[in-house]
Amino acid sequence: MAELTQLSTPAQADQVLLANYNRVPVTLVRGQGCYVETDDGRRLLDLLGGIAVNLLGHCHPEVVAAATEQLQRLIHTSNLYFTEPQVQLAEALIKTAFPGRVFFGNSGAEANEAAIKVARKWGQLNRNGAYHILTLQGAFHGRTLATLAATGNAHYSDPFRPLPDGFRQLRKGDLGAVEAALADTERPPIAVMVEPIQGESGVFVLDDEYLRQLRTLCDRYQALLILDEIQSGMGRSGTMWAHQQAGIVPDIMTVAKGIAGGLPLGAVLVGKRADVLTPGDHGSTFGGNPVACTAALAVFRVLERDGLPARAASTGALLRARLMALGEKGLPIAEVRGRGLLLGIGLSRPLAQETARAALSAGLLINPIGTSTIRLAPPLIMGEEEIELAVSGIERALTQAQAAGAPS
């Protein structure tokens, strides 16, 4: 085998990696807790958490220990056989959410693909072969062809058309449009699929009453309610699952991101009403891998023991208030959206990209969405020290970006 070149710099990486990411020009080499370190020795406060993945921070010792022990015992089996970690994790999901059964994949997109397949088979069996699914404008459900069609964002989907048929996007918040679509006898929908908090479009929370009315409409018109909790779940919103704040139970729920503390894992929890899959309907070679499931069990233990969902609610409220106070000091913050530690800073000027660059210099990793939103999804272990660093760093970054004279 030829000697490998050290590929640590962005310029070197561009030679061997496809150009499908607009990467931040920094190379991360290690992480601990809420912080990461770069190849040139800088220490950065990670306020994005691997896009809501590093739920317990980087290299949480209990997750590392659990995964290491499992690595030494059994790494992979396929799903031709049972493993204890997979069954135990399914039980943990059901215990914290609602009665049902679980399918494991490797990512959020795979979880949503599985949910779509479950709904389509349910439509074949219960709705005379109907297959249309209603989703919302501003949604994001993944990058595969079916989940792109469910997402309905031309920016993501246009280069890959034609997309699979069977998805209709409606204005979020418009219950009349949902009811009219559900009552359509020519193209009767089999399901409504929504995120309780739309993360990728700027962190927009669907109102609790709106979610309750969606549940009512799905029951009235014999449709399934699918909740995509890939970003909002696992305690991030202040409760274990964001939909619990609305007091509803979906028919299908998808999970990924923070479930395994940094390892790749996705899951679909299917309630009894929608439980229609039989052997051969769906599968995944790596899904529910013993190492990832063991790591996820450690995540569940820490979340429950340390009360991290409630901590996310209180920490998020404090962070939100401190950020809003920056707007009162004349900085361009119009609002702070979200729940718990999934927050979107809505800017009054199109400074998101400039602010993110300035934040990197100030020692922070933050995520610009479009021109006017900054997304924050830090680890749930975030404390007062990290809040102080986050607020002071964002203040410096916004001040610098505003002084640079970006157009208003």
Amino acid in the structure at residue 98: F
Residue 263 per-residue DSSP state = B
Average pLDDT, rounded, for the chain:
95
Catalytic residue selected from 103, 167, 172, 228: 228
pLDDT given for residue 4 in this prediction: 52
pLDDT given for residue 9 in this prediction: 73
- Peptide bond preceding 162: is omega within 30 degrees of 0, i.e. cis? yes
Has 140 been annotated as catalytic?
yes
pLDDT given for residue 101 in this prediction: 98
Domain 10-60+307-403: what homologous superfamily?
Answer: Aspartate Aminotransferase, domain 1 (3.90.1150.10)
* Residue 33 · residue 48 · CB < 8 Å: no
pLDDT given for residue 8 in this prediction: 57
Residue 181 per-residue DSSP state = H
Rounded Cα gap, residues 114 and 31, in angstroms: 32
Q: How many other CB atoms are found less than 10 A from the CB of residue 335?
A: 15
Rounded Cα gap, residues 288 and 34, in angstroms: 27
Catalytic residue selected from 140, 167, 204, 300: 140
Tell me the pLDDT tens digit for each residue of 123-137.
999 999 999 999 999
Q: Which of the four pLDDT bands, split at 50, 70 and 90, describes residue 305?
A: very high
Has 281 been annotated as catalytic?
no
Q: How many other CB atoms are found less than 10 A from the CB of residue 387?
A: 17
Has 257 been annotated as catalytic?
yes
pLDDT given for residue 153 in this prediction: 85
Catalytic residue selected from 103, 121, 172, 257: 257
Reading the block at residue 59, the tokens are 């290299």
- What are the structural domain ranges in the chain? 10-60+307-403, 74-305
Please tell me the pTM assigned to this model: 0.96
Cα 406 from chain centroid (whole Å): 31
The CATH architecture assigned to 74-305 reads: 3-Layer(aba) Sandwich (3.40)
Tell me the pLDDT tens digit for each residue of 16-69.
999 999 999 999 999 999 999 999 999 999 999 999 999 999 999 999 999 999
Q: Report in angstroms the alpha-carbon separations of 117 from 146, 157, 158, 274, 335.
A: 10, 20, 23, 11, 38
Phi and psi at residue 115, in whole multiples of 5°?
Answer: -60, -40
pLDDT given for residue 383 in this prediction: 96
